[in-house]
Structure 1
Amino acid sequence: MPAEIPNTVRAVVASPDLGKPTLEDLPFGTREDVKHLGADFVAVKNHAVGLNPSKTPVVIGSDGAGVALTAGSSVKHIKAGNRVAGMVYGASSTVQGAASEGLLYDAANLWVMPPGMSDAEGAAFTLTHLTAVQALYMRLKLAKPSAPDTSSPKKTVLIWGGSTSVGHHAVQLANLSGYRVLATASASNHALLRELGAAECFDYKDPNVLDRIKKAAGNQGVYAAFDTACNNGSTEVCIDAIRPRGGIVVATLPLAHDLVNRRKDVKVEFLLVYTLMGYALRFANAIDFEAIPEDRDQSYKWVTEELPALLQGWQEGVGSPRYKPANLRVAHGLERVHEGLRTLAEGSYSNEKFVYTVQEKYILPPIC
Structure 2
Amino acid sequence: MDAITGPFRRLVTPWVRHPTVLGSDVAGEIAAVGGGSTRFRVGERVVGYAAGQERLRNNSEEGGFQRYVTVLERVCAELPDTVTFEQAAVLPLGVSTASAGLYEKDQLALPLPTSAPSARGDVVLVWGASTSVGSNAVQLARASGYTVIATAGRRNHDFVRSLGAEAVFDYRDPEVDRLIVDAIGHRHLAGTMAIGGGALTHALRIAGRTTGTKNIASAYPDPLTRLRSLLARVRGIRVTSIWGGTPVQSPVGPAIFRDFLPVALRSGAFRPAPAPKIVGVGLEQVPRALAALRKGISATKLVVTIPAEDITP
Query: What residue in structure 2 maps to residue 329 of structure 1?
Result: 277
Q: 1:122 aligned to 2:88?
A: yes
Q: 1:132 aligned to 2:98?
A: yes
Q: CA deviation at 1:54?
A: 6.7
Q: 1:258 aligned to 2:228?
A: yes
Q: 1:130 to 1:271 in 2, by over 3 A?
A: same
Q: 1:354 aligned to 2:302?
A: yes
In structure 2, what is the Cα distance between the partners aligned to 1:117 and 1:310? 12
Query: What residue in structure 1 maps to residue 33 of structure 2?
Result: 71
Q: 1:173 to 1:337 in 2, by over 3 A?
A: same
In structure 2, what is the Cα distance between the partners aligned to 1:190 and 1:361? 40
Query: Contact 2:96–2:245 at 8 Å: present in 1 too?
Result: no
Query: What residue in structure 2 maps to residue 272 of structure 1?
Result: 243
Q: Deviations over 1:136-159 (max 9, x none)?
A: 2223222333263543xx101100
TM-score (norm 1): 0.71
Q: CA deviation at 1:262?
A: 1.7
Query: Greater helix percent: which structure?
Result: 2
Identity %: 28
Q: Kindly provide the amino acid, as one letter, of the partner of residue 248 in structure 1.
A: N
TM-score (norm 2): 0.83
Query: What residue in structure 1 maps to residue 160 of structure 2?
Result: 193
SS of corresponding position for 1:103:
coil
Query: What residue in structure 1 maps to residue 24 of structure 2?
Result: 62
Q: Kindly provide the amino acid, as one letter, of the partner of residue 260 in structure 2.
A: E
In structure 1, what is the Cα distance between the partners aligned to 2:124 and 2:212? 15
Q: CA deviation at 1:193?
A: 1.1
Structure 2 unmatched runs, 5+: 14-20
Q: 1:342 to 1:322 in 2, by over 3 A?
A: closer
Of 147, 170, 184, the residue aligned with 2:137 is: 170
Q: Kindly provide the amino acid, as one letter, of the partner of residue 238 in structure 2.
A: K
Query: What residue in structure 2 maps to residue 181 of structure 1?
Result: 148
Query: What residue in structure 2 maps to residue 306 of structure 1?
Result: 260
Query: What residue in structure 1 maps to residue 113 of structure 2?
Result: 145
In structure 1, what is the Cα distance between the partners aligned to 2:204 and 2:129? 17
Query: Greater strand percent: which structure?
Result: 1
Q: 1:185 to 1:114 in 2, by over 3 A?
A: same
Q: Deviations over 1:171-215 (max 9, x none)?
A: 112123221111001111111111111111111111221111111
Q: 1:52 to 1:112 in 2, by over 3 A?
A: same
Q: Deviations over 1:61-88 (max 9, x none)?
A: 1111122122234423212221111112
Query: Contact 1:332–1:360 at 8 Å: present in 2 too?
Result: no
How many residues are matched?
287
Q: 1:201 to 1:262 in 2, by over 3 A?
A: same
In structure 2, what is the Cα distance between the partners aligned to 1:257 and 1:321? 39
Q: 1:53 to 1:167 in 2, by over 3 A?
A: farther
Q: Kindly provide the amino acid, as one letter, of the partner of residue 87 in structure 1.
A: Y
Q: Deviations over 1:65-116 (max 9, x none)?
A: 1221222344232122211111123455444411101121111111211122
Q: Kindly provide the amino acid, as one letter, of the partner of residue 231 in structure 2.
A: N
Query: What residue in structure 2 maps to residue 206 of structure 1?
Result: 173
Root mean square deviation, CA, Å: 2.5
Q: 1:344 aligned to 2:293?
A: yes
